[in-house]
Homo-oligomer: A and B are copies of this chain.
Protein backbone atom coordinates (compact mmCIF):
# COMPACT_ATOMS: atom_id res chain seq x y z
CA UNK A 1 0.00 0.00 0.00
CA UNK A 2 0.84 3.64 -0.18
CA UNK A 3 1.30 6.14 2.56
CA UNK A 4 -0.78 4.95 5.44
CA UNK A 5 -1.71 8.43 6.55
CA UNK A 6 -3.41 9.38 3.31
CA UNK A 7 -7.05 8.28 3.16
CA UNK A 8 -7.76 5.62 0.59
CA UNK A 9 -10.31 7.68 -1.29
CA UNK A 10 -7.81 10.52 -1.70
CA UNK A 11 -5.28 8.11 -3.13
CA UNK A 12 -7.83 6.96 -5.68
CA UNK A 13 -8.74 10.55 -6.51
CA UNK A 14 -5.10 11.32 -7.19
CA UNK A 15 -4.78 8.18 -9.29
CA UNK A 16 -7.71 9.20 -11.49
CA UNK A 17 -6.54 12.78 -11.85
CA UNK A 18 -3.10 11.63 -12.88
CA UNK A 19 -4.55 9.28 -15.49
CA UNK A 20 -6.43 12.24 -16.92
CA UNK A 21 -3.36 14.48 -16.84
CA UNK A 22 -1.23 11.85 -18.53
CA UNK A 23 -3.85 11.49 -21.25
CA UNK A 24 -4.67 7.88 -20.41
CA UNK A 25 -8.20 9.06 -19.77
CA UNK A 26 -9.56 11.62 -22.18
CA UNK A 27 -12.72 13.74 -22.02
CA UNK A 28 -15.70 11.57 -22.82
CA UNK A 29 -13.97 8.33 -21.81
CA UNK A 30 -15.72 5.89 -19.50
CA UNK A 31 -14.20 4.98 -16.17
CA UNK A 32 -14.23 1.36 -15.05
CA UNK A 33 -17.39 0.53 -13.09
CA UNK A 34 -17.33 1.32 -9.39
CA UNK A 35 -17.36 -2.35 -8.41
CA UNK A 36 -14.38 -3.01 -10.62
CA UNK A 37 -12.42 -0.07 -9.23
CA UNK A 38 -13.18 -1.33 -5.74
CA UNK A 39 -11.73 -4.73 -6.54
CA UNK A 40 -8.76 -3.24 -8.41
CA UNK A 41 -7.73 -0.89 -5.62
CA UNK A 42 -8.76 -3.26 -2.84
CA UNK A 43 -11.26 -0.97 -1.20
CA UNK A 44 -15.00 -1.06 -0.67
CA UNK A 45 -17.38 0.36 -3.20
CA UNK A 46 -18.46 3.12 -0.80
CA UNK A 47 -14.88 4.33 -0.64
CA UNK A 48 -14.67 4.37 -4.42
CA UNK A 49 -17.90 6.32 -4.48
CA UNK A 50 -16.49 8.93 -2.12
CA UNK A 51 -13.53 9.52 -4.42
CA UNK A 52 -15.74 9.73 -7.49
CA UNK A 53 -18.30 11.96 -5.76
CA UNK A 54 -15.66 14.55 -4.96
CA UNK A 55 -14.41 14.52 -8.53
CA UNK A 56 -17.96 14.93 -9.76
CA UNK A 57 -18.34 17.93 -7.47
CA UNK A 58 -15.21 19.39 -9.00
CA UNK A 59 -16.64 18.95 -12.50
CA UNK A 60 -13.89 16.52 -13.43
CA UNK A 61 -16.15 13.48 -13.78
CA UNK A 62 -19.80 13.05 -14.71
CA UNK A 63 -22.03 10.23 -13.51
CA UNK A 64 -24.78 8.82 -15.72
CA UNK A 65 -27.21 6.62 -13.86
CA UNK A 66 -27.43 3.21 -15.45
CA UNK A 67 -24.69 4.00 -17.93
CA UNK A 68 -21.37 4.81 -16.35
CA UNK A 69 -18.98 7.43 -15.05
CA UNK A 70 -17.27 9.62 -17.64
CA UNK A 71 -14.47 12.13 -17.84
CA UNK A 72 -16.10 15.54 -18.20
CA UNK A 73 -15.93 17.07 -21.64
CA UNK A 74 -14.44 20.40 -20.73
CA UNK A 75 -13.12 20.14 -17.24
CA UNK A 76 -14.18 23.64 -16.40
CA UNK A 77 -17.03 25.45 -18.09
CA UNK A 78 -15.95 28.02 -20.63
CA UNK A 79 -15.56 31.42 -19.11
CA UNK A 80 -15.13 29.98 -15.67
CA UNK A 81 -11.59 28.95 -16.29
CA UNK A 82 -8.97 30.71 -14.31
CA UNK A 83 -7.41 33.10 -16.77
CA UNK A 84 -4.68 35.63 -16.50
CA UNK A 85 -5.50 39.11 -17.71
CA UNK A 86 -3.53 38.49 -20.89
CA UNK A 87 -5.36 35.28 -21.70
CA UNK A 88 -8.66 36.93 -20.99
CA UNK A 89 -7.91 39.81 -23.35
CA UNK A 90 -6.67 37.55 -26.11
CA UNK A 91 -9.85 35.47 -25.83
CA UNK A 92 -11.80 38.67 -26.38
CA UNK A 93 -9.75 39.61 -29.40
CA UNK A 94 -7.98 42.47 -27.68
CA UNK A 95 -4.29 43.22 -27.33
CA UNK A 96 -3.21 43.00 -23.69
CA UNK A 97 -0.77 45.49 -22.20
CA UNK A 98 0.60 46.49 -18.86
CA UNK A 99 2.11 49.45 -17.06
CA UNK A 100 3.66 49.07 -13.61
CA UNK A 101 2.37 51.72 -11.22
CA UNK A 102 4.00 50.47 -8.04
CA UNK A 103 6.35 47.69 -7.00
CA UNK A 104 7.24 47.75 -3.33
CA UNK A 105 8.07 45.43 -0.51
CA UNK A 106 5.92 46.04 2.51
CA UNK A 107 5.48 44.58 5.95
CA UNK A 108 1.85 45.39 6.54
CA UNK A 109 -0.70 44.74 3.81
CA UNK A 110 -3.42 47.36 3.24
CA UNK A 111 -6.39 47.11 5.58
CA UNK A 112 -8.78 45.88 2.92
CA UNK A 113 -6.56 42.94 2.01
CA UNK A 114 -5.23 42.02 5.41
CA UNK A 115 -7.89 39.47 6.25
CA UNK A 116 -6.72 37.00 3.64
CA UNK A 117 -3.00 37.55 4.01
CA UNK A 118 -2.25 36.64 7.58
CA UNK A 119 1.35 36.64 6.55
CA UNK A 120 4.26 36.53 8.93
CA UNK A 121 6.79 37.84 6.46
CA UNK A 122 7.29 40.55 3.94
CA UNK A 123 4.99 41.07 1.02
CA UNK A 124 5.61 42.14 -2.52
CA UNK A 125 2.96 44.55 -3.70
CA UNK A 126 2.61 44.97 -7.42
CA UNK A 127 0.19 47.48 -8.83
CA UNK A 128 -0.30 47.55 -12.56
CA UNK A 129 -2.48 49.42 -14.99
CA UNK A 130 -3.85 46.91 -17.45
CA UNK A 131 -4.44 47.88 -21.04
CA UNK A 132 -6.65 46.49 -23.78
CA UNK A 133 -5.73 47.66 -27.28
CA UNK A 134 -3.64 50.36 -25.60
CA UNK A 135 -6.54 51.79 -23.62
CA UNK A 136 -6.71 51.45 -19.84
CA UNK A 137 -9.16 48.78 -18.76
CA UNK A 138 -8.25 47.73 -15.22
CA UNK A 139 -6.12 48.41 -12.18
CA UNK A 140 -4.66 45.30 -10.64
CA UNK A 141 -3.07 45.11 -7.18
CA UNK A 142 -1.31 41.87 -6.33
CA UNK A 143 0.16 40.77 -2.99
CA UNK A 144 2.64 37.92 -2.85
CA UNK A 145 4.48 36.56 0.20
CA UNK A 146 8.00 37.37 -0.94
CA UNK A 147 9.63 34.75 1.25
CA UNK A 148 8.28 32.06 -1.01
CA UNK A 149 9.67 33.64 -4.15
CA UNK A 150 13.33 34.42 -3.93
CA UNK A 151 14.38 37.41 -5.99
CA UNK A 152 10.98 37.84 -7.56
CA UNK A 153 11.04 41.53 -6.73
CA UNK A 154 13.86 42.14 -9.21
CA UNK A 155 11.68 41.23 -12.15
CA UNK A 156 10.30 43.83 -14.47
CA UNK A 157 6.62 42.75 -14.88
CA UNK A 158 6.04 45.38 -17.53
CA UNK A 159 5.43 42.85 -20.23
CA UNK A 160 5.96 39.57 -18.46
CA UNK A 161 3.19 37.29 -17.33
CA UNK A 162 3.35 36.88 -13.57
CA UNK A 163 1.65 33.51 -13.68
CA UNK A 164 4.09 32.26 -16.29
CA UNK A 165 7.05 33.31 -14.12
CA UNK A 166 5.59 31.65 -11.04
CA UNK A 167 4.84 28.49 -12.92
CA UNK A 168 8.05 28.10 -14.86
CA UNK A 169 10.59 29.47 -12.43
CA UNK A 170 9.07 28.81 -9.04
CA UNK A 171 7.17 25.59 -9.83
CA UNK A 172 3.90 27.01 -8.61
CA UNK A 173 0.86 25.32 -10.02
CA UNK A 174 -2.28 27.38 -9.81
CA UNK A 175 -5.19 25.18 -8.97
CA UNK A 176 -8.03 27.20 -7.57
CA UNK A 177 -9.14 30.72 -6.82
CA UNK A 178 -11.89 32.19 -4.71
CA UNK A 179 -13.39 35.34 -6.08
CA UNK A 180 -15.71 37.99 -4.78
CA UNK A 181 -17.18 40.38 -7.27
CA UNK A 182 -18.65 43.67 -6.18
CA UNK A 183 -19.86 46.69 -8.06
CA UNK A 184 -19.16 50.22 -6.89
CA UNK A 185 -18.24 53.70 -8.02
CA UNK A 186 -14.57 54.47 -8.71
CA UNK A 187 -12.42 56.51 -6.40
CA UNK A 188 -11.10 59.76 -7.91
CA UNK A 189 -7.70 58.14 -8.35
CA UNK A 190 -9.21 55.14 -10.09
CA UNK A 191 -11.33 57.20 -12.47
CA UNK A 192 -8.25 59.21 -13.41
CA UNK A 193 -6.09 56.14 -14.05
CA UNK A 194 -8.84 54.38 -15.97
CA UNK A 195 -9.72 57.56 -17.83
CA UNK A 196 -13.39 57.35 -17.09
CA UNK A 197 -15.93 59.82 -15.81
CA UNK A 198 -16.68 59.67 -12.10
CA UNK A 199 -20.19 58.44 -12.92
CA UNK A 200 -19.07 55.22 -14.60
CA UNK A 201 -19.31 52.28 -12.17
CA UNK A 202 -16.62 49.61 -11.87
CA UNK A 203 -16.30 45.91 -11.12
CA UNK A 204 -14.20 45.18 -8.07
CA UNK A 205 -12.74 41.65 -8.08
CA UNK A 206 -11.18 40.28 -4.92
CA UNK A 207 -9.30 37.09 -5.55
CA UNK A 208 -7.46 34.60 -3.39
CA UNK A 209 -5.38 32.15 -5.37
CA UNK A 210 -4.26 28.71 -4.21
CA UNK A 211 -1.34 26.57 -5.31
CA UNK A 212 -1.05 22.81 -5.67
CA UNK A 213 -0.68 22.43 -1.90
CA UNK A 214 -3.86 24.39 -1.34
CA UNK A 215 -1.86 27.23 0.16
CA UNK A 216 -2.65 30.84 -0.57
CA UNK A 217 0.14 32.31 -2.68
CA UNK A 218 -1.56 35.41 -3.98
CA UNK A 219 -4.20 37.93 -3.05
CA UNK A 220 -5.30 40.17 -5.87
CA UNK A 221 -7.68 43.08 -6.18
CA UNK A 222 -8.72 44.28 -9.60
CA UNK A 223 -10.86 47.22 -10.61
CA UNK A 224 -12.36 47.02 -14.11
CA UNK A 225 -14.12 49.74 -16.07
CA UNK A 226 -17.81 48.97 -16.14
CA UNK A 227 -18.35 50.58 -19.52
CA UNK A 228 -15.94 48.35 -21.39
CA UNK A 229 -15.91 45.05 -19.54
CA UNK A 230 -18.48 42.34 -19.05
CA UNK A 231 -18.30 38.87 -17.56
CA UNK A 232 -19.33 35.91 -19.68
CA UNK A 233 -19.89 32.62 -17.99
CA UNK A 234 -21.66 29.30 -18.11
CA UNK A 235 -23.18 27.66 -15.08
CA UNK A 236 -24.51 24.18 -14.55
CA UNK A 237 -27.03 22.65 -12.24
Asked if A168 is at the interface of the complex by the 8 Å CB criterion, the answer is no
Report yes or no: B76 in contact with A176, Cβ–Cβ below 8 A.
no
Copies of this chain present: 2
CB A108 to nearest CB in B, in angstroms, measures 24
CB A65 to nearest CB in B, in angstroms, measures 13
The complex places the Cα of A202 from the Cα of B202 at a distance, in Å, of 10
Chain A, range 55-114, C-beta contacts under 8 Å to B: 57-59, 75-77, 80-82
Q: Which of B82, B226, B235 contacts A82 (CB 8 A)?
A: B235
Report yes or no: B179 in contact with A232, Cβ–Cβ below 8 A.
yes
**B residues in contact with A40, CB < 8 Å:** none
Asked if A175 is at the interface of the complex by the 8 Å CB criterion, the answer is yes
Report yes or no: A180 in contact with B231, Cβ–Cβ below 8 A.
yes
**Total A residues in contact with B, Cβ cutoff 8 Å:** 36
Asked if A199 is at the interface of the complex by the 8 Å CB criterion, the answer is yes
Report yes or no: B183 in contact with A203, Cβ–Cβ below 8 A.
yes
**B residues in contact with A183, CB < 8 Å:** 183, 201-203, 226
Report yes or no: B182 in contact with A230, Cβ–Cβ below 8 A.
yes
Q: Which of B176, B182, B232 contacts A226 (CB 8 A)?
A: B182
The complex places the Cα of A59 from the Cα of B177 at a distance, in Å, of 15
- Interface, chain A (partner B; CB < 8 A): 46, 57-59, 75-77, 80-82, 173-185, 199, 201-203, 226, 230-237
